[in-house]
């Protein structure tokens, strides 16, 4: 075919913004909601967060326990595989590093599976959730994270497409191998780097 689409200039949207990864657009003030399952109702009295698998000390935190850890926040952009990017978001919670410091990953751990209360799961290399790159968050823009956006608590891995930031997170299991999660089994990429446009299985 021709190497461009007849009649398309892209002039309406393009701002030459270098913060937009390839194929993404700025969603502005909106925040689209995309899930595969219904939004669950989560009771904070019974909610827990567990880090287990290949760790020295499998640990479970309740709502108060996780709030007792040093707080940490993220300010920056988030990118969804459905092509929206949201600039300048603010999330607050704890760094995943703080949880792993307590649970102590074993040397053979290379990947994790993050699991939601709904059963949704997603796989990540351990390197992608350590070193200040991932958070467990419960606040967005200074307010409690809304249930449809994964509240009360979600994983936040903003340097990867947002399906990796599992909503309603309840468990991170450390593993010595990679294993596909929900969307990865259903055709999406195992890593999901927006700057490399790793959207679907088969992308480089």
Pairing assessment for the beta strands 72-79 and 59-62 based on DSSP bridges: unpaired
The SS3 assignment for 174 reads: strand
Binding residues for another protein, rule: CB under 8 A, are 1-14, 22-23, 25, 27, 29-40, 82-83, 119, 148, 182-183, 185-187, 200-203
Strand partners, 59: 51
Identify which of residues 44 and 146 has a Cβ nearer to another protein in the complex.
146
Instruction: Indicate the DSSP class of residue 113.
Output: E
Give the Cβ contact number of residue 171 at 10 Å: 19
Residues 6+ apart with CB under 8 A from 124: 111, 112, 114, 134, 157, 160, 164, 191
Identify which of residues 11 and 107 has a Cβ nearer to another protein in the complex.
11
Minimum distance of another protein from residue 104's CB (angstroms): 34
Minimum distance of another protein from residue 72's CB (angstroms): 26
Minimum distance of another protein from residue 153's CB (angstroms): 19
Minimum distance of another protein from residue 105's CB (angstroms): 31
CA 56, 53, 200, 148 dihedral sign is: negative
Minimum distance of another protein from residue 22's CB (angstroms): 7
Provide DSSP, 183-194.
HHHTTB-SS--G
Whether the CB-CB separation of 161 and 154 falls below 8 Å is answered with: no
Identify which of residues 72 and 201 has a Cβ nearer to another protein in the complex.
201
Q: How far apart are CA 119 and CA 149, in angstroms?
A: 16
Minimum distance of another protein from residue 28's CB (angstroms): 9
Identify which of residues 62 and 139 has a Cβ nearer to another protein in the complex.
139
CA 131, 143, 76, 150 dihedral sign is: positive
Identify which of residues 4 and 70 has a Cβ nearer to another protein in the complex.
4
Identify which of residues 88 and 127 has a Cβ nearer to another protein in the complex.
88
């Amino acid at each position: 075919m021709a190497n461009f689409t007849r009649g398309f200039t892209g002039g309406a949207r393009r701002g030459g913004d270098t913060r937009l990864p390839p194929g993404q657009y700025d969603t502005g003030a909106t925040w689209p909601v995309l899930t595969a399952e219904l939004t669950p109702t989560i009771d904070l009295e019974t909610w827990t967060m567990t880090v287990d698998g290949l760790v020295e000390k499998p640990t479970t935190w309740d709502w108060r326990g996780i709030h007792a850890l040093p707080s940490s926040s993220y300010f920056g952009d988030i990118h969804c595989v459905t092509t929206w990017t949201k600039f300048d978001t603010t999330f607050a919670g704890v760094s995943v590093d703080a949880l792993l410091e307590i649970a102590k990953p074993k040397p053979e751990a290379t990947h994790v599976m993050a699991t939601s209360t709904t059963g949704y799961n997603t796989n990540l290399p351990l390197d992608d959730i350590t070193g200040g790159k991932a958070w467990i968050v419960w606040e967005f823009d200074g307010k409690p994270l809304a249930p449809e956006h994964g509240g009360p608590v979600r994983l936040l891995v903003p340097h990867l497409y947002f399906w990796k930031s599992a909503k309603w997170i309840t468990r991170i299991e450390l593993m010595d191998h990679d294993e596909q999660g929900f969307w990865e089994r259903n055709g999406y990429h195992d890593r999901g780097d927006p700057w490399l446009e790793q959207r679907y299985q088969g992308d480089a």
